[in-house]
Amino acid sequence: MNRDIFNALDQAGFGSNVHEIAAEVECRVLRIDDESGEGFMTMYRVLDGIYLMYNDLHLKHCVSEYQNSETVLCIDHCREGRIEHENSLGSRYYMEAGDLRIDKRVHHEGKVELPLSHYHGVTIGFLQDTAQESLRREMPFLSVDLDKLGEKFCPENKEFLLRTNEQLNAVLSQLYHAPKSIRLDYFKVKIAELLLLLSTIDAAAYLKHRQYFPASQIDKIKQIHSIITGCLDKTITVEELSEMSGMPAASLRKVFKAVYGVPIYQYIKGYKMKAAAEMLISGQRLNIADIAQRLGYDNASKFSAAFRDVMGVTPQNYRSRQEDM
Mean pLDDT of the chain: 90
2 pLDDT higher than 50: no
pLDDT digits (tens, 9 = 90+) for 278-314: 999 886 678 999 999 999 999 999 999 999 999 999 9
Of residues 86 and 200, the one with the higher pLDDT is: 200
CA distance between the termini of the chain: 58
Alpha helices per DSSP H over 101-213: 128-138, 146-153, 166-175, 183-199
Share of the chain above pLDDT 70, in %: 92
**From-to residues of CATH 2.60.120.280 in the chain:** 5-209
Which residues are paired to 101 by β-bridges? Answer: 76, 161
> pLDDT digit string (tens) for 212-259?
999 999 999 999 999 999 999 998 999 999 999 999 999 999 999 999
pLDDT greater at residue 63 or residue 27: 27
For residues 60-74, give the mean pLDDT. 77
Assigned fold of 5-209: Jelly Rolls (2.60.120)
Q: What is the rounded CA–CA span in Å between residue 140 and residue 166? A: 27
pTM for the whole thing? 0.86
Q: What is the pLDDT of residue 296?
A: 94
Report residue 1's pLDDT band, with 50, 70 and 90 as the boundaries.
Answer: very low
Pairing status of strand 37-47 against strand 50-58: antiparallel
| Amino acid found at 196 | L
Q: Work out the average pLDDT over 32-60.
A: 94
Ordered alpha helix ranges (H), 142-182: 146-153, 166-175
Residue 14 has pLDDT above 80, yes or no: no
Where are the CATH 1.10.10.60 domain residues in the chain? 215-324
| Residue 222 or residue 1, greater confidence | 222
The pLDDT tens digits for 162-190 are 987 899 999 999 999 999 999 999 999 99
Angle (CA) 170-171-172 rounded to 5° is: 95
Q: Rounded distance, CA 250 to CA 293, Å?
A: 30
Specify the 3-state DSSP secondary structure of 18: strand
Taking only the tens place, the pLDDT of each residue in 103-142 is 998 766 678 899 999 999 999 999 988 999 999 999 999 9
Q: What is the pLDDT of residue 111?
A: 81
Write the DSSP assignment of 268-305 as a string of letters: HHHHHHHHHHHHHTSTT---HHHHHHHTT-SSHHHHHH
Going by CATH, does the domain composed of 215-324 fall within 1.10.10.60? yes
Q: Is the pLDDT of residue 201 over 80?
A: yes
Averaged pLDDT for residues 29-40:
92
Q: Does the pLDDT value for residue 50 go beyond 60? A: yes
